[in-house]
Amino acid sequence: MTAPNSRERILPRLIEEEMQQSFINYSMSVIVSRALPDVRDGLKPVHRRILYAMNELGLVPGRPYKKSATVVGDVLGKYHPHGDQSVYDALVRMVQEFSLRYPLIDGQGNFGSVDGDPAAAYRYTESRLTRIALAMLEDIDKNTVDFQANFDDRLKEPTVLPSKIPNLLVNGSSGIAVGMATNIPPHNLREVAKAVELLIDSPDATIADLRKAIKGPDFPTGAFIYGREGIKEAYETGRGRVVMRARAQIEEKESSGRSQIVVTEIPYQVNKENLVKAIAELAMEKKIEGISGVNDESDKDGMRMVIDLKRDAIPNVVLNQLYKHTSMQSTFGVIMLALDKGAPKIMPLKQILERYIEHRHEIVVRRTQFDLEAAQAREHILEGLKIAVDHIDEVIKIIRGSEDTAEADARLRKRFGLSEKQSDAILNMRLAKLTGLEIDKLEAELKEVRGTIKDLRAILASKPKRMGILKQEMAEVVEQFGDERRTEIVADQGEFTVEDLIAEEDMVITISHT
């Protein structure tokens, strides 16, 4: 047996130890870097990278759309070293109005449908950010969030977005990691904003208090939620079960006088085409009696699924059977799992809101500090220009008497005690700035900047002021993007009984004596 080469870096190790450690590393990579959203901005890394890349490309509202292929390529080449299809799938979901309560990307082209139709290939579709996505990115250029190196250390990417929108709750999230999964339902922005304001004013508010603001999930597809107990459990523990039911009404068909069931809204994440097929199959197999036909009459104006009934059918019984045997009634299993400081946690409603408020408070502090430093830098320049204006004849004499810029710079700094930046500003000042009107403007700007510095320092010195800013910004968000609730919450009517599924009929019972 030959002796091992001392230059080789091969270490013998038991395969079970290596497998165990490698699987742990893989698990943490999936949990932290792929499958779970951050509690602060509600985004997984791929979604965050897409939004940031689109912002860097200038794909904002009011600007032309660009091919989705451009976006996918930019995200892959700069930030996300994974498959192109996974990036495009994430982009597509952020466009779909039936997937996100408040879509973050404005798409042009075929981005799929509630019938389960796939989106067109990314070479055919175009996209840009929505206005609400811009609110997610607002102030990112003011050192409000930390940045990290990208996969090849050439660029920087944000570890989280400023997120003026409480995105985790309003758009929800779903994903399967290793050994854990998340499934957070979407909510109404107005209600979540109201809960945020309530918690700012009353940090000791209970889940019961918060539930007065947030009634429950608000799905993009509307429909009904049956029962409040599942919502209460989810908000208190982070886990719960929400029963969703389609919105349907019974109508009389004028031409034939027969009844028909018209479905206009279906539960969240239900495939409408599959639902139509399932109803047709149940009718053909006689598992549901009384259905003569099913037609999908949906168009650009909205959803309309018509279930024609036989003449002798009892509409309410058929409807109950449809709820019992099809996805016209389905369950949303709530698992409010998100990353909190890099660790996966199942969090109740209050904790999610608290983490969001903490994040936004940090954004306000860092933004205010950035603005203060910028204002102080401008004040410093204006003070130097003011000195030059007050001694303009001497300044001109020094400049004209110097051989070059370097000498003029050194003499000005020595004579008036200027900094390098102040001296540079004076040397680069145009002669037009020496007019009386421009001098007045300079003095007015200096006064304004000093007022701004005073206000910014007051904000940094007062937490109540910062919390007031949070509430004000939340009100602005609601004013811009708030809308009415789509999903109606009704009292639980309990499980179906046998009587609910059987039509009432007159019966004759004959008893004979033998």
Return the active site residues: 124
Rounded Cα gap, residues 159 and 46, in angstroms: 11
Strands 224-226 and 488-490: parallel
Q: What is the dihedral of CA 28, 177, 32, 162, to 10 degrees?
A: -170
Going from the C-alpha of 394 to that of each of 391, 397, 427, the distances in angstroms are 6, 5, 13
Between the CA of residue 484 and those of 97, 187, 220, 264, 474, what are the distances in Å? Answer: 15, 11, 11, 18, 17
Q: What one-character-per-residue DSSP string does 116-155 give?
A: -PPPPPTTT-EEEE-HHHHHHHTTGGGT-S-EEE-TTSSS
CA distance 87 to 63: 22
Helix (H) or strand (E) holding 294: strand 291-296
Say how far apart CA 228 and CA 493 lie, in whole Å: 11
Surface-to-core class of residue 222, CB atoms within 10 Å of its CB (0-12 exposed, 13-18 middle, 19+ buried): buried
Helix (H, G, I), strand (E, B) or coil at 46: helix
Could you give the CA distance from residue 352 to residue 238 in angstroms, rounded to a whole number? Answer: 10
Q: Is 366 helix (H, G, I), strand (E, B) or coil?
A: helix
Q: Which residues, including other chains, have CB under 8 Å from residue 190's CB and lie 6 or more apart?
A: 478, 482, 483, 485
Selection from 217, 220, 274, 224 nearest residue 244 by Cα: 224
Cβ atoms 294, 357 nearer than 8 A: no
DSSP symbol at 496:
P
Torsion sign (Cα): 32, 38, 41, 44: positive
d(CA 297, CA 295): 6
**Distances 75 to 82, 154, 494 between C-alpha atoms, Å:** 10, 14, 48
* 378 contacts 449 by C-beta, under 8 angstroms: yes
CB atoms within 10 A of CB 53: 23
Three-class secondary structure of residue 164 per DSSP: coil
